[in-house]
Structure formats: structure tokens, C-alpha cells
Structure 1
Amino acid sequence: MTKVNERVTTRINQLVSSLTPIHPERCIFKVPHQLRHGKEEFYEPKVISIGPYHRGNPCLASMEEHKIRYLQSLLRRTGNRSVDRLVQAVVPHVEKVRKCYAELKSTDYISSEELVQTLVLDGCFIIELMFRCQYVNNDDPVLNSMVLIALGKDMILIENQIPFFILENLFNTINHGHGHDHSLGNELKRQILVFFYPRLKNYSLTLQDVEQLIIPEVCHLLDIIHKAICFRFHENSRTTTSSQIEREFVNSATKLKEASVWLNASSSTENRSMFDITFTKGKLNIPTLGLDDGSEIEIRNFIALELYQQSHMQRFWCDYVIFMDHLIASSNDVDLLTHRGIFNNRMIDTNSVDNMFKNLTRNIITSHPYTYSEISKELNDYCDRPWNKWRATLKHNYFNTPWTIISLIAALALLSLTSIQTVFSIIS
């Protein structure tokens, strides 16, 4: 028995000693099974591999030549004959880069030389792409095709990232900056936000917002986009009180309408974040959300970032999709929200929106406290007022179709005519 104890003890000690720490820098990871199962297409790139996770995928091989062409073009444009300075900008940070990837703890996954090559090629491709989109109008097959749309989708996948400090170092080196030149770093962020503006305008951001926005600390491209969407709400959000801790959820949009809640799209001139939902004097104000075939990919990756990012991050997207999912019980609710301007729906049909929100809320959890606890309580209290409750019941049970309303009008008209006839009979 003693020998068994010794062997087991030795084995467990080896397991403990070989365990690598969870580094605080970790910010890029493969989406866990419970989120990705059956939904792999929302997390895996279709056109380009950025970073080590999808490197070598034969389905993405066609873009590798474009990466080299972009690097060649960048070197010519900046008067460099060799990539030596770019490699030197990356090599000292290899170990720090490994700590950013949850599944890249050793050289077994990828050697240091291969990792540096990947970072230089992918980083320079992103930098040159930003430049070409703003300053060059030529016959670039990447820019002048549907590939650019697919590229935009691939570049914000959580599994398809490189650390932003690598991009920043490369950008500074290309532009002859030194170390962490914050002015150059801010210019790179601005170029990235302008590139993604066609997507950002779906989330209540204007071009002026994008041009003026300064985001201090970011991990990668997805983090930049996430923070750009959340920044205004994060700055203006109300301080949490104890009354918000108890979670409450709202009724569907059609039921709220029956209870005399007016659903209203917040004006773009009100300078609100898309998360800034308010309820005042019977009016529920919700900023407009643009929806198209790229929305689910983006929102799923925002949610994955919020759920698995190691640093404390408020789960604005998780809370938002849960709130909206409770508003949407059927396609009728989607129609109502679209009619009121809350959804700018460019998807195939209303069922697609309904199904999207149902799918988005699976296996996610809200913030604690839930961002919309207070407004949900206010809405529920309003709907529970006797008059509003009675009106909702009346509308739902007796005036839920045009035919019942027509029948009531006909009945009232008949009653009025009968009454008039009775009066005339008495008089005569």
C-alpha cells in the first residue's frame, strides 16, 4: 500500500508542478465548446487566418500570398529593403505574446520563429490594409471584391487576433516612431475604427464619434470595436444601487404595447449609446439597432469576449441580448420593433431576428447586478397598475384582431339605432 501511495503522490505532484499559470495578459482564446457547439461558423474564419490558432488551415491558404504582397508593398512604400527592423520590433515580445493566448503556453503549438513570422506577416497585412482603404484607390483584388466584406468579419473573431501591442510596435517602426509612441498608437486605432465604421454605424455610432474617439488600453481588434460601442454607456451608466441587484425581466413588446407602454426609437441626435435604454412616463426608449447577415457573428464574438476575458469586464452585450430576447416572444414582436424604428432590419425575414436572439442567449449569463434590473422593475410595476392591467387584458382578449373591433363598432351602431328607434316609438 505504501508503494501505491508513493506512486500516486509522485504522479499528482508532477501534474501540479507541470501546470502553467493563468497569466493576467491572457485575452485571446478558443471559444469553449458550450458556446461554439453547432455554431462553429460564427467563430472560425472563412477567408484569412490572423494569429496562430487557424494558421495552416488549407481553406485559408489563398490569402497567404496576399499577405506577402501587402508586406512587399509596405516595404516599398516606406523605403525599406528588408523586414529586419520589423522582426526586431517583434522578437523581444515573444514570451509576452504567448501569455496573451490561452492555448499557446509552450513551443509545442508553434515555435518562436514561426510565431514571429506569423506576427510580422499578419500585423503588416492589417496595417497595409488600413492604409489602402483610406489612401489608395487602385485595382487591388482584395479591396475591389466581396473579399473585403469577408475580411472584416474574420478580423473581429476572438480566435483570429494578434495582440494590439504587436500591431502598435510594427506601426511605430514603420512610421519611424520609438517605443510606445501614443500619438502613433492613437492614429492606428483611428484607422481601424474608420475601417470598421460601416459596421459600427449599426450600433448607434456616427463617423464623428469614430474620428474623435480615443480608447486608451486595448487588447486586439475585437477589443477596440467592443470598447468603441460600449464607451459612451460605460461613461454615462448610472451607479448601481441595492435595488438593482434583484433581477427582473420584461414582457414581450406586444404585451407592453397592450399595457399602454409606448415603444420608441431614441433619436440619433440624443448622443446615446445603443445600450442606453430608458423608461419615462410610459415611454420605453431604445436606440436603433441595425441588423444584417453579419450581426450574429459580431455579437457572438462580443459576448465571448465578455464571458471569458480574464480582466473585469461589464457584460453590456450579454445583458442587452437578454433584455431584447425577453422583448421578442415571436415574429410579431420583431415586426412591432421594426415598425417603431428600434430595429433597422436588413435580414431575410422577421423569424431570422427572432431566432438570432434566442440563439444568442443560450449558455450566457448576465452581469451581477444585471444592467437592466431597475428599468425592468419600473416596466413591470407600470404594467401591473390596475388600469394598465385591465386595458392589456381587454386588448388581448377582445381587441386582438381587426374583426373584433369591427364587430364591436357594428354592435354599438346597432345598439344606437335600436335606442333611437325606441325613443321615436315612445314619442309617437
Structure 2
Amino acid sequence: MSHSIEITPIDDQCPLLHQTKKDNIEEAGKINGQYTNKSANHIIDEKLKDLDKYTSKKFIAIFKVNVGLRKSNPDAYTPMLISIGPYHKKNPQLGSMEKYKLMYLRRFLQRKRGLDVEHCITEIEKLKGIALKCYDDIENLDNDIVDKFSEILLLDGCFVVEFIRECSGMKPNREDKIISTNCMINLVLRDLLLLENQLPFFVLTKLQYMTKEVDEVPITKLVKETFFSILPKMAHASYLEREGDVKCIKHLLQLVHMSSHPSYYNSLWHVQDLSLKIISKDQDYQTWHANMPNVTELCEAGVRFSKVGNTYSDLEDRTTLFDIKFENGRMRMPCFEVDDVTETLLRNLIAYEQQTCDVLPKHFSDFAVFMDYLID
């Protein structure tokens, strides 16, 4: 679509100022809300300089979900019960959980004699600068949130660490669970795996280290044990394997993502590879989008379907969500339970893949595309 701009001849314009001199036109233009080329250049130069204040993209690990992904189901990316980190701190509907954060903070402090809030804030202040750089668009947050960022990291971080400890059976002796109802537990687990509701993982590791007992297992293992039960069809063996250098872990959602790979990981299941097998070996990646058949068409063509593994994840079933195979006219697919949290988890794992450039292969995105074509 073309756009036109109406330009009024200079002779028909009203004088900016009475008997304006030529060398004063630039200043007069500013008074009237207009800018000369020189002043426009100055404005753009200032904006370019402001870029130095913004976070380098290589540090960003915690994103706001973009509009394209959010529009189909905004609620899937929004906390229902608790805000973790700065993005949803101003949501009044989540304010009731602040008292629980204080309760978990008190339990955290009681784990080590002599530990107090002042010492914790001092330690968190050392991490504040790099932690801020982990968030996208942090410069547009309210000033009071940035000013209280160390407090946010402490309260939210202690909540996450102590809640995960509690879920793993590590609450202090003779004390009740702070959050004990299944409904609240499931909602907290859901909210802790939202892309916009993350804390830098090094904050969590620091807090655990400050109060870690001698025989306490690493927080990575505690996280995996806590979230395994709510993830759809994750092989226990692959999910609980060691994940290498903890310094490479960005946040909880990434840890869950990097632990949720196909059981035959070395073969790198990928949607277009499987799709091309179904269509024709002669067709390439550019054509499979338009030719991938749905289930009805596959059945009419003689393809048979069979399930692999059990519906519910267990210690003996090594089948994962991605273990889909097509051989000799038979499509073998894992079955899994779908509940109220399943869509939210899958959407946030996909959002993480789509907005993080160094995530390859993108297993959850591939799975969603493949299933979308099958269901049509």
C-alpha cells in the first residue's frame, strides 16, 4: 500500500515568527514542535548512545513472550498464583502469596545459626548487576522494582529453594508443610515453569549453598525430582541423568527443557525427517509443509497406528513424548495424560525454544508442528 504526504508550498504557510531571520529558522522550528535535519540527527544520535545502556542480547535468558506466541492463549504464559521475578510483580491478583514468601524466608534463615536478612541481602547485592542483565526489556520496568531488585531476588529465590526442598521431603523435623494442599502445590509448580516467571539459576544455587546441609543433594537433582511428576511422558532415566556444568543452566525452565529429550537422543528426532518418510523420500524440506497428510488421509492410505509405552510416566517405562517412529506402514506414537497444566507447560517450553537462539534441536516445537499436521 502506498502512502502520500501532503506538502504545503512555503508561500502559503503562515510566518513562524514576525520577520524571522534565516539563521533563526532552526530555533523557530523547535518552538513549533518541528525539527530540522540537524536536530533530528542529534535525537537519533542520542538514541543510539542509549543502546549502550541496554542489555546485550547474549546475557538475556529470561524473556517476555512475544505477541505472536501469546495471542492464541495469553493465560498460558501468565502466573495464576505466584509472581517470581520482576515481570509480574505489579499484578495485584498475585499479592496473596507474598505472606508465603515471608514464611519460606523465615524457614530459610532458620536453617543456619546466625543467618539474617542483612547478610543475605549483602550476598544478593553481589549478584544484582549480572542478574538484571538476564532479563529482556528490563530498562522499561518501574524504577521501584529495579530499586527493590535485591529484595525480589531474596524473597522469590528463598521461596523457590525452600518450596523445592519441601516437595523433596526436606522440610525441618516436626514442622508442617507451609503449602500443603494439592491444588496450591500444582498451581505453584505450574507457575514456576513459566518463561516470564524465572529467576537466574545462579541465584538459586547461591541461596542453596548458603544453607546447604552436608548430605543435601544438588539443587539440579531436587528440581528434576520435583517437576518430573507433572511433565508429560518424560523418560525417568534421561530426565534424572546428570546435566554437566551447573554454570550453564540459565533457569528452572531451561533445566527442565534440557532434561526432556528423546530416549534415543543420539538419533536426534526431528519433525521434517519423520514427515519426509511419510510423504516420499524424493521430496525435500521445502515441500513437506504443503504435503504432510493428516491422520484421516494416512488411515485411508493404509497407515496403521499403535501406541508405545504406558499412559503415565513411571520408573520402568523409558518411552518419551518424542519417541515417534514410522516404519513399514505403521506409526508408533507414545500416549500420555493431558491435564489442566499440560498445555501451559508445552507452550512455555515452545516459547523458550522459539525465543532462545542457541537451543537446538527444538524438540517441543517439532512435536507441536508434527501433531498439528496430524490433527489438521
Q: When the two structures are superposed, what TM-score results if normalisation uses the length of structure 1? A: 0.68
Deviation at 1:299, TM superposition (A): 1.0
Please provide the CA RMSD for this pair. Answer: 2.9
Q: Could you list the runs of 5+ residues in structure 1 that have no partner in the other structure?
A: 178-182, 330-428
User: Does residue 227 of structure 1 match 2:277?
Assistant: no
**Paired AA for residue 163 in structure 2:** L
Higher helix share: 1
Range that drifts further, 276-285 or 16-25: 16-25
Distance, in Å, in 1 between the alignment partners of 2:85 and 2:70 is: 19
Alignment of 1:8-157 (within 5 A): 8-19=40-51, 20-37=54-71, 39-105=73-139, 108-110=142-144, 112-135=146-169, 136=171, 139-157=176-194
For residue 196 of structure 1, give the secondary structure of its aligned residue in structure 2.
Answer: helix
Counterpart of 2:9?
A: none
Match of residue 343 from structure 1: none
> Which deviates more from structure 2 when the two are superposed, residues 150-159 or residues 276-285?
276-285
Aligned partners of 2:326, 2:227: CA distance in 1, in Å?
31
Q: Residue 204 of structure 1 is aligned with which of 219, 234, 241?
A: 234
Give the match's secondary structure for 1:285: strand
2:348 corresponds to which of 290, 295, 301? 301
Cα distance in 1, alignment partners of residues 184 and 175 from structure 2: 15
- Distance in 2 between residues matched to 1:235 and 1:229, nearest whole Å: 13
Check whether the contact 1:215–1:228 (CA below 8 A) recurs between aligned residues. Answer: no
Identity between Structure 1 and Structure 2 (%):
26
Partner of 1:190: 221
Distance of aligned partners of 1:328 and 1:231 in 2 relative to their CA distance in 1, 3 Å threshold: closer
Alpha-carbon spacing, 1:94–1:235, altered in 2? closer, same or farther (3 Å): farther
Residue 56 of structure 1, CA deviation:
3.2
- 2:86 touches 2:145 (CA, 8 Å); kept in 1? no
Residues 253 and 349 of structure 2 are in contact (CA less than 8 Å); yes or no, is this contact kept in structure 1?
yes
Pick from 242, 249, 256: which aligns with 1:218?
249
Cα distance in 2 for partners of 1:158, 1:11 equals: 35
2:38 maps to a residue whose letter is E
Of 322, 331, 334, the residue aligned with 1:275 is 322
Contact 1:277 1:284 in 2 (8 A): yes
User: For residue 164 of structure 1, what is the aligned residue in structure 2?
Assistant: 201
User: SS at the partner of 2:75?
Assistant: helix
Contact 2:269-2:322 within 8 A present in 1 as well: no
Distance in structure 2 (CA, Å) of the matches to 1:232 and 1:219 = 23
Conserved in 2, the CA contact under 8 Å of 1:251 and 1:326?
A: yes
Question: Cα distance 1:275–1:243, how it changes in 2: closer, same or farther (>3 A)?
Answer: farther
Decide whether aligned partners of structure 1 residues 102 and 174 sit closer, same or farther in structure 2, where only a CA change above 3 A counts. same
Q: Hey, what's the Cα distance between the residues in 1 that align with 2:182 and 2:320?
A: 32
- 1:262 matched to 2:304: yes
Counterpart of 1:173 in structure 2 is 210
The one-character-per-residue Cα deviations of 1:143-173 (angstroms, maximum 9, x if unpaired) are 2341111111111111111111111111112
**Cα offset, 1:253, TM superposition:** 1.7
What's 1:311 paired with? Answer: 358
The aligned residue for residue 368 of structure 1 is none
In the alignment, does 2:369 pair up with 1:322? yes
- Counterpart of 2:39 in structure 1 is 7
Q: Which amino acid aligns with 1:5?
A: N
**What is aligned with 1:285?**
332
Extract unaligned runs of 5+ from structure 2.
Answer: 1-21, 27-35, 274-281, 311-315
Q: 1:261 to 1:270 in 2, by over 3 A?
A: farther
Conserved? CA contact 1:133–1:143, under 8 Å? no
Inter-partner Cα distance in structure 2 for 1:21 and 1:166:
19
Query: CA contact under 8 A between 1:89 and 1:173: conserved in structure 2?
Result: no
Rounded to whole Å, the distance in 2 between the matches of 1:24 and 1:59 is 33
Distance 1:270 1:155, change over 3 A: closer
Partner SS for 1:260: coil
- Which position in structure 1 is the counterpart of 2:286? 246
Distance 2:115 2:88 in 1: 29
